[in-house]
């Protein structure tokens, strides 16, 4: 009896739609569930794609490793040849060697340990396998294949002049000029070729 009344209700709905002059196809329950299922899958796929893109794209902010690091000028060693300053957030050593200022990547080129500055020997020494580097990051001895890598820098001096690290990563000479700002590009590493 219930099935007969349900059939009559469907027939009545179909007649009212036809009587108004508009022919509208009403989806069946199965078609409706397919539409809902398809929309749910499209939404899930879209969310997954957006999540993967958000996770995979690098987000390097100013002051974080991989981005531009504004280094305080007062933290640069004032006297050439004095002990370098470690910047653990930026993962580099700021060194003022005789040739000029250089930002050295704080990772040994041998197996990735973190070399430490040893004041008694006036050099960097890797605690893992004994590689040794000069104040400007040049290779001295040990199993490392090359000198320490360097980061590209932009320096603005008090007199308005600017200087940038060249493609070889050579230190930027100060020539008696006072530094106003230093920007270390920790996402732009220069690999030093050979043991020089």
pLDDT digits (tens, 9 = 90+) for 85-97: 888 887 888 888 8
Residues paired with 116 in a beta bridge: 125
Confidence of residue 149 (pLDDT cuts 50, 70, 90): confident
Tell me the mean pLDDT in the region 30-44: 93
Residues 25-36: tens digit of each pLDDT: 888 899 899 999
Angle at 56 between CA 51 and CA 61, to 5 degrees: 105
| CATH class entry, domain 68-190 | mainly beta
Tell me the average pLDDT of the chain. Answer: 80
Sign of CA pseudo-dihedral 53, 55, 71, 86: negative
- Spatial separation of the C-alpha atoms in residues 69 and 53, rounded to whole Å: 25
User: Residue 76: helix, strand or coil by DSSP?
Assistant: coil
The percentage of residues in the chain with a pLDDT greater than 70, rounded to a whole number, is 82
pLDDT of residue 129: 86
- Spatial separation of the C-alpha atoms in residues 50 and 157, rounded to whole Å: 44
Q: Of the given ranges (16-30, 43-57, 79-93, 104-118), which has the lowest mean pLDDT?
A: 16-30
* 8 Å CB contact between 84 and 96: yes
């Amino acid at each position: 009896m219930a099935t007969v009344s349900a059939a009559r209700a469907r027939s009545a709905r179909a007649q009212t739609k036809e009587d108004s002059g508009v022919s509208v196809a009403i989806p069946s329950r199965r078609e409706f569930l397919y539409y809902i299922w398809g929309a749910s899958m499209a939404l899930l796929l879209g969310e997954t794609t957006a999540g993967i893109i958000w996770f995979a794209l690098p987000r390097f902010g100013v002051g974080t490793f991989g981005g531009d690091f504004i280094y305080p000028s007062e933290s640069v060693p004032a006297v050439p040849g004095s002990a370098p300053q470690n910047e653990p957030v930026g993962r580099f050593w700021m060194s003022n060697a005789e040739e000029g200022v250089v930002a050295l990547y704080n990772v040994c080129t041998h197996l990735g340990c973190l070399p430490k500055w040893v004041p008694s020997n006036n050099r960097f020494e890797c605690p893992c396998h004994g590689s040794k580097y000069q104040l400007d990051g040049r290779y001295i001895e040990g199993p490392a294949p090359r000198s320490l890598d360097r980061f590209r820098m932009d320096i603005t001096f008090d007199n308005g002049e600017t200087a940038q690290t060249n493609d070889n990563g050579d230190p930027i000479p100060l020539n008696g000029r006072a530094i106003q700002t230093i920007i270390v590009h920790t996402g732009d590493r220069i690999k030093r070729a050979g043991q020089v």
